[in-house]
Structure 1
Amino acid sequence: MGRREQRMARRQLKIVRLLEPELCLDCRFAKMADVEAADGTQQRMIYCRRLDCDNWDFASAEPVSRVQFEDGESAA
């Protein structure tokens, strides 16, 4: 496991609902990823590196089991 993957694993990634997803499409902190939830379901989502983003709805947060980025990198 690389240094980046270790840092991401320690962050305890969560799936959260985006209040306005269209804002994320042009954001420099966002990238597309295939995400596997803790229950095994898989979905294509936006991965955000900005930890202070106001576009997140934390009330719907759920754990992530795996993240695979568009460029082939993986996390969690």
Structure 2
Amino acid sequence: MSTHNLKTWMPFYQDVIEGCKTFELRKNDRDYQVGDILNLIEVDPSYELALTGRQTNKEVVYLLTGWGLQQGYVVLAIK
């Protein structure tokens, strides 16, 4: 199990917090695995990706590769 620090744009971060976004689409450059922890760090895309100070941890509960995804990308189901 690994912990991954990932920047997340404000509107998407808020959707994760509210529980309506339960997945992440990411380039699989970190060898993501079920059980990994994503430390999602909110950034403001309109202000040079400045950190907002908010962050949350989510666990990867399912990993989807292939199925029409561009090679090297993965969908991570999170809770």
TM-score (norm 2): 0.26
Q: In terms of Rg, which structure is larger?
A: 2
**TM norm structure 1:** 0.27
Determine which structure has the larger strand proportion and give its number.
2
Q: Specify which structure has the higher proportion of helix.
A: 1
